[in-house]
Amino acid sequence: MYRIIGFLLISLLWIGCDSESGTARIEVRLTDAPGDYQEVNIDIQGVEVHVGEAEGSGWTSLQVEKGVYDLIKLTNGADTLLALGELPAGTISQIRLLLGDGNTLMVGDQIHDLKTPSGQQSGLKLNLHSTLTEGVTYKVLLDFDVARSIVERGNGEYNLKPVIKSVAEATSGAIKGTIDPAISLPAVFAIVADDTVATTYADEAGGFLLRGVPAGTYKVTFEPKEGFEPSIKENVSVTTGSVTDVGVVIISEN
């Protein structure tokens, strides 16, 4: 319970923090295709992502909820948040799961160790060729095929040779633009009804990017520093996976 609460706090902090320039948000979720076992417990100790097509370097570690996951509980559309983080915009080529020693299987009310030598040494590498757009939030779903991943040995022992399908999909869009004059330095808000969905500040060059904005139609408001008038852009449409450019926003002096 404390482990789950701690990870939820990390998640809230991550969502609330300003994102770095040139990055996309990513969350990794785990699910399972059913298998004929009572429990399949996988000990996950790390999740890493490689941005770019080159092998061997450039791995980035995500914030991960370490622990043992019973895949049987993640069937029929259920999934769980495994890791999250910020990545440079660009192409994800691979994702890697780092496993611990606590991998077990329950069948016939008996617990068996799952042998995973390759996973313990260098991680389970999965190809994932998807392009990340700056400011957009993505979900990577790891679909663990239990029925094909458990190999029974002749001596009654079991090996884990994971068969995992990885799918990345955008879950939000973004809004960008340029402020004129840049010295007005406004706070920028994306609002729907009475809810503020995203907020940011224009930078010294006048640019702004509202990240992680769900698909919909928004009012974008601009609250500049003293000496300038607030401004509003109505009916700004956002689509999932895309960045809406509102162009140049003129801020008038008062």
Question: Is 55 found in the same domain as 119?
Answer: yes
Closest CA to 58 of 30, 82, 90: 90
Q: Are residues 118 and 165 in the same domain?
A: yes
Closest C-alpha to 176, from 134, 145, 231: 134
> Considering 170, 196, 217, which residue would you say is the last residue of a domain?
170
68 shares a domain with 136: yes
R_g of the chain, CA atoms, integer Å: 22
Same domain, residue pair 182 and 161: no
Q: Which domain holds residue 181?
A: 173-250
Q: Do residue 18 and residue 108 come from a single domain?
A: yes
Where residue 117 falls among pLDDT bands split at 50, 70, 90?
A: low
Read off the pLDDT of residues 13-27 as tens digits, 9 standing for 90 and up. 344 444 555 899 999
Residues 162 and 143 in one domain: yes
Q: Which of the listed residues 116, 143, 170 is the one where a domain comes to its end?
A: 170
Domain final position from 138, 153, 170: 170
- Distance between CA atoms of 172 and 235, rounded to whole angstroms? 17
The pLDDT of residue 12? 39
Bridge partners, residue 129, by sequence: none
Domain shared by 205 and 222, yes or no: yes
Tens digits of per-residue pLDDT, 178-227? 999 999 999 999 999 989 999 999 999 999 999 999 999 999 999 999 99
pTM attached to this predicted model? 0.80
